[in-house]
Every structure is written in structure tokens, then in C-alpha cells.
Amino acid sequence: MVEQKLRVTLITGRTIEQGVGKEMGKGSPEYFDSAAVCFLDPVDIKRLGLKSGANVKVTSPYGSVIVKAKRYTRGTMSGMVFMPCGLWANSVCGSNTDSIGMPTFRGFTVEVEPAPDMPVLTLDELLKQEFGK
Amino acid sequence: MTEVLIKNGFVFDPLNNIDGQKMDIAIKDGKIVKKVSNERNAKVIDASGLTVMAGGVDIHSHIAGSEVNLGRLIRPDDHVKDVVKKTALTRGGTGYSIPSTYVTGYRYSKMGYTTVMNPSMAAMKARHAHEELNDVPMIDKASFTLLGDWWFALENIAKGDLEECARHIAWMIRATRSYAIKVVNPGGLESWGFGRNVHSIDDEVPNFCITPRDIITGMAKVNTMLNMPHTVHLHTNNLGVPGNYKTTIDTMNALESVYTGDKPIGHITHIQFSSFAGDNWAHFKSGAEEIAKYLNAHNHLTVDIGQVTFADTTTMTADGPFEFALYELGGHNKWVNSDVETESSGGIIPFHFKRKNAVNAIQWSIGLELSLLIKDPWKWFMTTDHPNGGPFFHYPRVFAWLYSSKAREATLKNCNKKAQKKSLLPSIDREYTLYELAIITRAGTAKALGLKNKGHLGIGADADVSIYNINPETTDIAKSYKPVRKAFGNAAYTIKDGEIVVKDAEIVATPSGRTMWLDVQTKEPCRIDDKIKSKFKDYWTIEFDNYPVTDHYLKVPEKIAIKASV
Amino acid sequence: MTKVFNSVVCTICGCLCDDLEVTVENNEIVKMKNGCAVCEAKMVHGYKSEERILKPHVRKDGKLVPVTMDEAIHKAAQILTDAKYPLLFGWTSSASETQHVGVELAEELGSALDNCCSVCHGPSVMATQEIGIPTATLGQIRHRADLIVYWACNPWSSHPRHVERYTAFTDGRFEKSEFKDYVQKLKAKSGQKKVAAAIRRTRVRYQPPPRPQTALVEAPPQTLAKDGRRMVVFDVMKTMTAEVADYFVQVEPNRDYEIFGALRCLVNDQELDVDTVGGVPVDYLKEIADVMVNAEFGAIFFGLGLTQSVGRFRNVELAIALTRDLNRKTKFVVSPMRGHFNVTGANTVFAWQTGYPFALDFSQGYPQYNPGEFTAIDLLRRGDNDATLVISADPGAHFPKGAMQNMVKHPLITINPDWNAISRLGDVVFPTQWCGIEQGGTAYRMDSVAITLKKVVEAPKGVPSDEEIVKRILEEVKVIKANKAEKEDTGKQVLQETAAPKKRGSKTLKKEL
């Protein structure tokens, strides 16, 4: 049974690929490939009727972004999605800090849905869209 | 450079036997000279009716380094009650118990202090200490490296190879740009690596087959071999434990066994914390009489007090196990422990010394009892072990307790009743003179540190001078202790290297101050072969090449070359 | 011309590995030995990428155009002095010498000053301010720790050499490396895979062993009770670090606080009346508590999983409290996994100059500290500051969108070596040297050990160090302020002069009257 949307908990964090990518340069293809992604449990990927590498839209109360879905094979994490730190993940993170300076970076609910017709924006496109510069 | 002439002050210069004589002090090119070349060109300070002393020399005050800064970092509650605004000349900052670096420099200078020893620097974190010291303006400074639990030293002492040990230590003193050997709770810090401690100077240090006694005597011998200007700077075992005065006497006896009879062999620091009698906290009492008796009968030691001043302060020491024990006593919310691999440990606890607390009040009394019962002022020096007993800018309070029995009475009256009963202070009527105060705050400390150009106003000395608004002819300092206390905290003038830096308790110039360090030259250099290098790699997580502190880290370095006899 | 540099310091994460061997040919790094993949990416490729900024730029009519350094400095200083309340943010990929000047600049401007700590381990610092911290340098852990706990962090990705240099895979004086065990484990695993493949080939349906239904967590293995070093990982997902651990505990997101609480109870010999806490069966936690208490020397490392999840600094506070409790039974230390290579330095330098580690404000003439008020995100969220200087950080990529949108509303000055996200958004963009490659300096490791960074290649011509840029901005700010004051003074004088005759006039008037 394929579902339209999944309500899941978003975790953001580091991956070594994203680490390498950011050091190669924020405009580098390595960075794009490693940061504009969202890792899902194979079970969840199936539930959305997706293939690994398909575009998905991640939406939170703070915004939404299109990224590539990837299968997370290391262990089970059903009900959770993981996005590497970076511009794409931050498009859905909130600025609320609970008055201690730390924004809402992880552990909040997002919706993930397939977005086959929408492109994943590059760094420059995303900057232009969000900040007009 | 401009010349300065200080005219008609009452000069107290114990190293030159000058006791309040009215005389002029001439300064040229940052040094004391016989007379200025031309009085008209010189900046003349009219010091008539004022007291003139050499700049203060503090032998033990934690003003910079990793430990100190961690203390700063965990105490925003302490800073918020003491803020310092930026001015056109000075930087802003915060106090209270651990003032920020700039404020530290300003406040020392305001008290007429010009030299401060930073007594506890983990070798591995020496770079940090020096970076921070560069930001302490107005004063000359030097640091003591923690070496009592360094694996290289322990192994060499266990082997019985003190000469090799000495060479390694010489290397380390140079590599950390340090001025003296500091030994803290010898053996205890190594034991603390696995959460244990040593409880007497004859307990075995786990994994090393030696005892604290071996370390203490070994380090004292090494210190002599290296011809260090200062003695071994020792923080005893069992510090802060009731009944520890016995350990302290054992330690002093152990040091006597290596005493050769010319100059002191060791310095026991903040001895107030090591002069506790009684079997437990409930029966806590003073061991000052016994310690003072010992010191009066022996000449192989100097000590400083670590006076408690009743303040909401922050205790910090390399003695990690002690701070843990303090934490275990309860009532403390913040506890920091910071072990340093192969070398040392550390601990921090904010602590409020209260008059109404029996133990705190007795500790206050112990410090003063020691100060008053040790007959020879050249044997002991005034410190609060800043910030442990209280912040350094409380020194004037301590002076008052020393020169005025009235001041002591006034404070004792407000102390815990039990402590009042136990205190020996009412039975002591000694009152310090200005001459004696000059000994315990500059002359004696400079002598003990081997700083030949400091602590006095003889020809050729560094032109570090403090002038206080105290008229010894017209004032009975013991009676009117309050204005005198105020005068000690607000120097009329402080002169640093011939430059007037404080005038009427206001900062008027902010020179950097030098960092003194020893270049200890051994006859045979420390062998740094591949074997040693691989040992370095095994022992530390920093590469050998990256370990030593370079000159880059000393803003104004002052290298002092020492010829060792090994 | 080939030159080999030894003991070079890596400038990626808080590990500050200082054993790199770097080969330089014709002023270009061509080879790097010993470093991790991220280090290789930066030192061999990234630092010389085409994305490098070589000239100062100023935004004119919406486009960044190259300008002279003098013009950029003046423009930046003008923006900062014109602003009512600027924010100076970043500092964590700069040497401590630069951070040092930064505090002076903030003080001169009366601005807000914050570093990246506020969005990584700021809560850890706050927890430390609440209850202290029992910690140790990394070597102490290498020599002595027989139990390593990684909590809510994935050093394999974020601090790639942490395990191999400082914890489980390194040889210490009293504890030996676990590397052999790990290799055996790998072999066993690949053996299993071979078996599985063989089974598949024979078309026998492979059935995985049954898993406990109550929780995601696997039961603690026998290896936990072994002698020697053990490694336990707590995380919300199974990471690479978790794979090499002796035991992995999968925590439900945002439930760390509860698990710490449960562990504290168990360590202090209390009983729990529930079966699972935070998705972990209490029986398993009991076993872990046992292992903790029986360790000779344990070390807990925690990461952003604690500081960024619900509970934030309270999570860290409990991690520290657990460590304190354990110190009554054995020796335990706890340490945050600091990220940027000199974020610890920023805290350290700020603290010794002002007393406070981050979230600073100088608007009153003296330093003030209040996370939640003077932290960058909060200032931006509320729109409090009206100009921003970002140095050696990339909030463009690492701040939430909302905060960034407010930042770009006002003038933005950036000082970064390459065209990262924030440089692309800047209004005045400075080029600068790569700290630790083209310039030396000092950095503080995650355990606050200061290490000297090395310069191995010359920077491109005309690209100054960030220290120099900040110093020049500071000087320019002082000049502008002095000019302003002078103008005001002369303005007042003119006013007085014009006012004076009136007075005289009134006097004469009086006389006349």
C-alpha cells in the first residue's frame, strides 16, 4: 500500500561525505550530492513507493525543500529521516531556540512526500530563492 | 626615556635595611639610579608624607592558564556582580573572584603590585597560559610548571637517576617557558588518574613503585642541581584534610634531610590549608601552633599562607582529588575536574567562605595565627592563594589584620562562636610594622624567588615602585586601620619600569609587562634521541615537534639564563 | 621543488590531529599522509579550488564587484559604525590571535559578539556553567579508559580520527588497542555475509534471527563483560561508529534525558518500576549501568544529538550528573565532541578577556552574557541587529532559513577564504588566507590543549590573514569614530558660538531694560 505522505521525525547531522563535500567547496558537486539528500529507512521508502535517488519534498512548519531520497541501510530507523547539515536541511529547520540560542535543528516532525516533477535546487538557486541574492 | 624623581617619601626597603627614612628615589631608563641627571628634566613626584616601597611581588596567585580560565568560564554568576567598563585607555571586563585578564592587571597595579607569579601551569597547557598572560597588562609575570607527577620525572626518580631527571626537567622548564618547579600533591595526582589518592608521604604511588617522599626529596635535589633561583614550590599531600598538619611536618622533615645549609630547600605554599588539626570536620581545629613552632626552629623552608578573606570565591588547584573530596562534602553544585595526561590533574569548585561557618572561620584564624606566630618575616609571605582563599584585591584586608589587632578583633567578633573560642588570635598582640609588611609582600618574596632586581629600591633594581598615601609619622596604623587599608588598595602612584602607570588609584598607562622564563643550561643537554621521541609519542597526544612553547607566545619575553651543575 | 612538512596540524574538527605529513611542490600541496578523508579533501583539494576568493568584493547594484582592499576596509568599517547594533559572528575557524582582536573590535563597536558555539555546543557550555564538568585531556582517556561511551555523536563522520587517535583503537600505557578485536569482528561479519551468500546461492530461504519485539534495541552482547577496552554507542540511528562498537543502544529521538535519568537511578542502586525507558528495555540499561560502575576508567563523549534535541542543555546536564555519580564508584570523565577546529579557542579567548565564552554584548560598555538574548540566532530571529560581520564560518549553510532571511535584510560583511554560502550573500566580501595552511596561529583542541598551527604554503598575492583584516577594520572604525566625535564637537562649538551672541544679546537687553 503506497502512502502519499509520511509524518516522520527529522534528524540532521554530519556524514563523512558531507564533510568531504563541504571542504571541497560549497559549490562543488561533491557537496551537492552529499548534502541535498534525505536518508530514509528502506521500509519507509517502500511505503512512499519510491526508488532510492528519487526526489522528495520535505516539509516542516518552517519551510520545505526538495532533496533526493536515499536508502539508509546501516540499521533500522523507521519513522525517522536523516538529512546531512547544510543549506537544504536548514530550509526546513526552525529559528526558535527555546531562549537558549540553539535553533530547532533536529527531533521535530516533518512530512515527506514524493516530488517527481520538482527539481532539487543547486546552492546558488536555493540562495536566490530564499534570500534573493 | 624620561627620568623620574620621587622626593621626600618615607622609604621602606628591607633588603637595603631602610626603615622609613625620608629620602629621594631616582629613576632612569627603567632602573633605580643614584640620582637623575638633571632635576629639571625629570618628572618629579612629591612624595612628602607618603610611604614609598618597591613594587609588590606576589609569590603565588592563579591569574592565568587553562584551569583559571575554566573557572572563569563556569562562573557567569560571579562576573555579573562585578563589571568593569571600557575607557579610552583601558579595556572592559569582569570580576569578581577570577577577574578577566585585563582587569587582573589593572587591579594588581592599583594595589602597587608589579610582579606576580602564576604558580600552576600544566606543561601541556603552557601555551594557553602564556597566551593569557600576554593579556595581563601592567605586571611582570612568570609561571611554575607542574612537574611532580610527570611520568618522565617519576620514572627517573624510581630508577634513581636524578641527573637524567634534572636534564629532562631543564628541558621541560625551557619548553614551557617556565620559572620554577611546582609539585602538587606528589603521587596523588598520578593516583587520581584512576580515582585514587595517596594519604601520607610514604604511601606507594600505584604503578610507579615510589612514594611521595621520593618525589619531594628527589625534586628538591633536582632543583639544587639545576641551580634554580626559586626553591621547589610544594603543595603538600593531604591538603585540606583535618589532621593534615602531621603530613605537613613529615614533609618538612623529609625536606630537611636534603638540606645543605646555605639557602632554603623548599617553599610550602598556601600552608594554611595544610595546617589543620583535629580528627575530622566536627573536631576541626588549628594546627598553626605546631607548624609555627617547627618553622621557628628550622631554617630550610619558606612558606606562604593562603589567607582566607571571607569571600564568595572560586577554589581551583591542580590537586584534583582534593577538589573531589571537597565536592563530596556536599553543598557544592559545580564541580570541575580536569586531568592532564602524563602530567597532572585539576579541579575547580566555587566556594563561599563564611564568617558564620565554624570551619571557615577557623581557617581564617589559622592563616593569621601562622602569620603572627612565625617570628621571622623573611620565612613567610602574604598570599590568599588567589582565588582560593579570596581574590587578590582583598590583600589590603589581610594587611589590616596583620598590622592592627583592632582589625582582627573587629572581624573575629563577627565570626562563628565556636571558632571564636578555638581561635588563638586574642592571645596574640603582635602587630606588623610597615617595614615587616614590605618584607612579606615584596622584599621577602623577591628574595625567595631569586629575583635580584625586584623587591627593593637599591641602585640597579627595576624601577618598580609603589607609593601609598600613608604617613608613618602622623598615623598610628594599628589604630586607624581603615584609612591605611584603603590606601593600600588605592596606590597614590605605581611606577612600572620607570613609567607612571597608576596615579591616585587611576590607571594612566597600560604597558604590557614582561614574562620571565629560565633558560636552564645543563652541562650535558637532555638527550632527545629516537627512543625519547617515541616515548613522547607514547605518552602524549601531541607530537614532539609541536610540544615546546615558542617565543611567539611571549609578548615581552625576559630570558634568564641559568647554569646548572649537572 | 619538493618540501615535506612533518607534524602539521589538521584544521577540520576539534581533534586537531597534529601528525600530518604534507608534501608541497611549487607552493602547492600535492600529498598528505595520516589525515582523514575530510582533511584530504581540504588540504589537498579544497583549499586550492576555483571557489577561492582572491579579491575583496563590494555589492553594487545587487552585484558583487571587485574593489581594492582599502575601499573594502573603509566600507566595512563604515557599515559597522553606522549600524546601531551590529553582530560579529563566527570566529571558530580562525586562529585564537584573530579571535583576540575580534573581542576588541566588538568592544570598540559596542556590538554583539557570538561564535559558532551557540549553534553547536553552546548548551554544553551552559550545562557546564550549571554544574561543572569532570573531564580530562584526550591522552588521559587514551592511557586509562577501559570503557568509552559515545552518546548522540558519530565520530566516524564528524571526527574521523577520534577513535583511532584518542579512544578505542589506540594504545595507552594502561590500556591496549581494540583494533585487533575490531578486525576480527569485521572478518566474522564478512564470514557471515559469505555464509548468507552461499545460502542464497543454494536457494535456501535465509531467515534472519528473531529480534526482540519490544524495542528496536538489540540485547547487550557477551563482549560487554570482557576485560580490556569496550565501546558503547547511544544514538538514534545506527551509524558507522555504532557498527564498530561493542554495543549499540538505539534511543528514541528526544528521549536521551529520560535514559540518562534511568541510568543515574541504576548507578545509584535505585529500582525502576517500568520496563522500557526511551525505547530501551530497563534490563539492558541495568547491564550497561553495571558495566559503567565496574569500569576502571570510563569516558563519555557526547555530541550534537544532545545539544540540539529537545532538552538541549538539560540533556548535557544529566550526562555530566551521571558522570559525577559514577565518580563516587569509579573514575569517569565526560567531554563534548567539539566541532570546528577552534571553537574551543573562541570560548577560551572570549572567556579570558571578558569572563564569558559566547553570546556576548558590549552595548553597555562592559561585557554582558545571556544565551537566548545575545546569541546570534535569537538576535536574528527577533531582527535586533542591523548589520552583521561573519568571519570564518558559514551561517549561510548552517543557520535556519528564518534567521538567515533576517540577516540578509541588513548589510553583511564576510571574511572567508572561499565562496561559501555566506560569502555569496555578502555585501562586503573579504578574501582571506586558509588558517593552518597559508597562515599559522594557535588553535585549541576539544580538550582545550593549545596547539600551534603551521603554515605550509604561501597565500595567493594580495590575500591577507583574517587577523590583519580585523585589525585594519578596527583601526578604521577608530578613525571614523574619532572623526565623528570631532565633527560633533565642532558642531557643538558652532552651536555654542551661534548661541553665545544671543546670550549677550539677552544680557544687553536686560541692561537696556
Res. C498 pLDDT band, cuts 50 70 90: low
Kind of pairing between the strands at C331-336 and C63-66? unpaired
C10 interface with A at CB cutoff 8 Å: no
Write phi, then psi, for B7 (nearest 5 degrees).
-105, 135
Counting CB pairs under 8 A, whether chains B and A reach 3 or more, is: no
The one-letter code for the residue type at B401 is W
**Neighbour count for residue C365 (Cβ, 10 Å):** 14
The pLDDT, as a whole number, for residue C200 is 60
d(CA A12, nearest CA chain C) in Å: 9
What are the DSSP calls for B164-229, one per residue?
A: HHHHHHHHHHHHTT-SEEEEESTTHHHHHTTT----STTSPBTTTTB-HHHHHHHHHHHHHHTT-S
Kind of pairing between the strands at C441-444 and C450-453? antiparallel
Least confident of A12-21, A102-111, B459-468, C205-214: C205-214
CB B226 within 8 A of CB B566: yes
Chains near B (3 or more Cβ pairs under 8 Å): C
Q: How far is residue B274's CA from residue B184's CA, in Å, rounded to a whole number?
A: 12
C278 interface with A at CB cutoff 8 Å: no
Closest by Cβ to C324, choosing from B66, B132, B335: B335
Smallest CA-to-CA distance from C264 within C329, C168, C337 is with C329
Architecture of domain C51-120+341-477: 3-Layer(aba) Sandwich (3.40)
Share of chain B above pLDDT 70, in %: 100
- Would you call B280 helix, strand, or coil by DSSP? coil
Q: How far is residue A88's CA from residue A85's CA, in Å, rounded to a whole number?
A: 8
Contacts of B207 in chain C (CB under 8 A): 174
Mean pLDDT, rounded, for C137-166:
95
DSSP β-bridge partners for residue B316 = B348
Chain B residue whose CA is closest to C345? B128
Chain-chain contact of A16 with C123 (C-beta, under 8 angstroms): no
CB B63 within 8 A of CB B513: no
Task: With a cut of 90, say whether residue C82 has pLDDT above it.
Answer: yes
ipTM entry: 0.96
Mean pLDDT, rounded, for B412-431:
96
d(CA C486, nearest CA chain B) in Å: 15
C129 interface with B at CB cutoff 8 Å: yes
Task: With a cut of 60, say whether residue C212 has pLDDT above it.
Answer: no
Which cell numbers in the block locate residue C366? 562592559
Cite the residue boundaries of each domain of chain C with CATH code 3.40.228.10.
Answer: 122-336
**Neighbour count for residue B440 (Cβ, 10 Å):** 26
Contacts of B547 by beta carbon, 8 Å cutoff, 6+ apart: B124, B175, B536, B540
Q: How far is residue B551's CA from residue C4's CA, in Å, rounded to a whole number?
A: 24
d(CA C241, nearest CA chain A) in Å: 11
A71 interface with C at CB cutoff 8 Å: no
Identify the CATH class of B4-54+456-507.
Answer: mainly beta
Q: How far is residue B382's CA from residue B441's CA, in Å, rounded to a whole number?
A: 6
The pLDDT, as a whole number, for residue C211 is 44
- Domains, chain A, in order of start with CATH, read 6-131 (2.40.40.20)
Task: With a cut of 90, say whether residue C184 has pLDDT above it.
Answer: no
Q: How far is residue C330's CA from residue C459's CA, in Å, rounded to a whole number?
A: 51
C286-315 per-residue burial string, b: 16 or more CB within 10 A, e: under 16: bbbbebbbebebbbbbbbbbbbbbbbbbbb
Q: Is B500 left (phi over 0), alpha (psi -120 to 50) or beta?
A: beta
Q: How far is residue C469's CA from residue C461's CA, in Å, rounded to a whole number?
A: 15
- Which helix (H) or strand (E) element contains residue B289? helix B288-297
What are the DSSP calls for B24-47, one per residue?
A: EEEEETTEEESS-S-TTTSEEEE-
Contacts of C165 in chain B (CB under 8 A): 541
Chain C residue whose CA is closest to A64? C401
Chain-chain contact of C137 with B541 (C-beta, under 8 angstroms): yes
Least confident of B16-20, C284-288, C500-504: C500-504
Chain-chain contact of C238 with A93 (C-beta, under 8 angstroms): no
Which cell numbers in the block locate residue C43? 588540504
Q: Is C269 left (phi over 0), alpha (psi -120 to 50) or beta?
A: left
Instruction: Give the relative orientation of helices C343-354 and B101-110 as an angle to the nearest 10 degrees.
Output: 20
Q: How far is residue B337's CA from residue B344's CA, in Å, rounded to a whole number?
A: 11
C158 interface with A at CB cutoff 8 Å: yes
The pLDDT, as a whole number, for residue B406 is 96
C329 interface with A at CB cutoff 8 Å: no
**Domains of chain B by residue range:** 4-54+456-507
Res. B226 pLDDT band, cuts 50 70 90: very high
The pLDDT, as a whole number, for residue B531 is 85
Q: Write the CA distances from C330 to C228, C262, C263, C290, integer angstroms.
A: 16, 19, 15, 12
d(CA A122, nearest CA chain C) in Å: 11
A43 interface with C at CB cutoff 8 Å: no
C348 interface with B at CB cutoff 8 Å: yes
Which cell numbers in the block locate residue B315? 577554589
Q: How far is residue B84's CA from residue B95's CA, in Å, rounded to a whole number?
A: 8
Res. A78 pLDDT band, cuts 50 70 90: confident
Task: With a cut of 90, say whether residue A69 has pLDDT above it.
Answer: yes
Tell which of C308, C385, C409 to mutate to test the A interface (max A CBs under 10 Å): C308
Cα angle, residue C261 at apex, residues C259 and C264 outer, rounded to 5° = 110
B135 interface with C at CB cutoff 8 Å: yes
Chain-chain contact of C131 with B545 (C-beta, under 8 angstroms): no
**Neighbour count for residue B202 (Cβ, 10 Å):** 13
Contacts of C239 in chain A (CB under 8 A): 74
Q: How far is residue A26's CA from residue A46's CA, in Å, rounded to a whole number?
A: 32
C405 interface with B at CB cutoff 8 Å: no
**Neighbour count for residue A120 (Cβ, 10 Å):** 17
Question: For residues C319 and B2, which has the higher predicted lDDT (pLDDT)?
Answer: C319
Residue-wise pLDDT for B297-346, tens only, equals: 999 999 999 999 999 999 999 999 999 999 999 888 899 999 999 999 99
Residue-wise pLDDT for B69-99, tens only, equals: 999 999 999 999 999 999 999 999 999 999 9
Q: How far is residue B307's CA from residue B370's CA, in Å, rounded to a whole number?
A: 10
DSSP β-bridge partners for residue A11 = A82
Residue-wise pLDDT for C217-270, tens only, equals: 678 887 777 778 899 999 999 999 998 899 999 999 999 999 999 999 999 999
> Chain-centre distance of CA B56, in angstroms?
12
C250 interface with A at CB cutoff 8 Å: yes
Question: DSSP secondary-structure letter at A104?
Answer: B
Closest by Cβ to B131, choosing from C96, C139, C142: C96
Chains near C (3 or more Cβ pairs under 8 Å): A, B
Q: How far is residue B124's CA from residue B67's CA, in Å, rounded to a whole number?
A: 12
- pTM of this prediction? 0.94
A24-49 per-residue burial string, b: 16 or more CB within 10 A, e: under 16: bbbbbebbbebbbbbbbbeebbebbe
Smallest CA-to-CA distance from C123 within C316, C256, C255, C372 is with C316
Chain-chain contact of C216 with A76 (C-beta, under 8 angstroms): yes
Chains near A (3 or more Cβ pairs under 8 Å): C
Question: DSSP secondary-structure letter at C210?
Answer: P
Tell which of C342, C353, C451 to mutate to test the B interface (max B CBs under 10 Å): C353
Residue-wise pLDDT for C284-330, tens only, equals: 999 999 999 999 999 999 999 999 999 999 999 999 999 999 999 99
The pLDDT, as a whole number, for residue B256 is 96
The pLDDT, as a whole number, for residue B332 is 85
Rg, Å, chain B Cα set: 22
Which cell numbers in the block locate residue B138? 601592567
Q: How far is residue B68's CA from residue B314's CA, in Å, rounded to a whole number?
A: 9
Smallest CA-to-CA distance from C438 within C13, C94, C161 is with C94
Counting CB pairs under 8 A, whether chains B and C reach 3 or more, is: yes
C166 interface with B at CB cutoff 8 Å: yes
Beta strand ranges found along B347-402 (DSSP E): 347-352, 380-381
The pLDDT, as a whole number, for residue B530 is 87
Q: What is the CATH number of domain C122-336?
A: 3.40.228.10
Q: HEC profile for B431-480?
A: CCCHHHHHHHHHHHHHHHHCCCCCCCCCCCCECCEEEECCCCCCCCCCCC
Between positions 73 and 92 of A, the ones with CB within 8 A of C are 74-77, 80, 82, 85-87, 90-92
CB A100 within 8 A of CB C122: yes
